[in-house]
Amino acid sequence: MFNIFDTAANIWQSHSSTSLFVAFTVIVTCKLIYSYYKAFNYFAKLDIPGPKPWPLLGNIPDIIKIGDQDTAHLKFTNEYGKVFGMFYLSEPVIIVSDCKVIRRILIKDFYAFPNRQLPFKFPLNYLNKALAVARDQEWKRLRDILTPTFTSNKLRSSFLIIDDITTKLVQTLIYCGQKKEIVEMRKLLGEYAMETML
């Protein structure tokens, strides 16, 4: 009966450890090259244009060469169109600057886009559960809870309250300006923010 362990032991004994190490290294290297090649063809298979990524680094060297991320995105938008794909290391990212597509993503197909690109993960776990940074099923659960809060009628009624509070803020600033008083804006705007949230 064929035993894979006996076969492996025979191969191990018949070849030097150096040649086995070289063979193992070649196989692992080929596997890595294939997986990165396959990953970096992600957008080509979807027929989404974008800059050609560098091995292992994606498009990060292009961004560094251009100067900053915003300038790079603007350059790539002019070069590849309003929807293009790029890579941060080996992670594919789609950049969208077409208003119609953005509206569709944020309104009609919002449920299908639960994850956003985050620059880092918060060290405190409870901060990672906030709606802005929640991912996958946690994001969908939070959205289902909050969606009834933001109906058009409730937003319309809160507009009147916010308008009244903003009018009071403007009146306070005009009064302080007429009296030539020094206004601590941080405190005043903090109070304004708290009042509009409540």
User: How much of the chain, in percent, has pLDDT values that exceed 90?
Assistant: 13
More confident residue, 18 or 89: 89
One DSSP character per residue, 40-106 reads: HTHHHHTT---PPPBTTTBTHHHHHHHSSHHHHHHHHHHHH-SEEEEEETTEEEEEE--HHHHHIII
When pLDDT is cut at 50, 70 and 90, the band that residue 132 belongs to is: confident
Q: What is the pLDDT of residues 72-97, one digit of tens each?
A: 999 999 999 999 999 888 788 888 98
Q: What is the pTM of this model?
A: 0.54
Q: Is it the case that residue 190 has pLDDT exceeding 80?
A: yes
Cβ–Cβ < 8 Å for 75, 84: no
When pLDDT is cut at 50, 70 and 90, the band that residue 171 belongs to is: very high
Q: Once rounded to an integer, what is the mean pLDDT over residues 25-42?
A: 78
Identify the pLDDT of residue 89.
Answer: 81
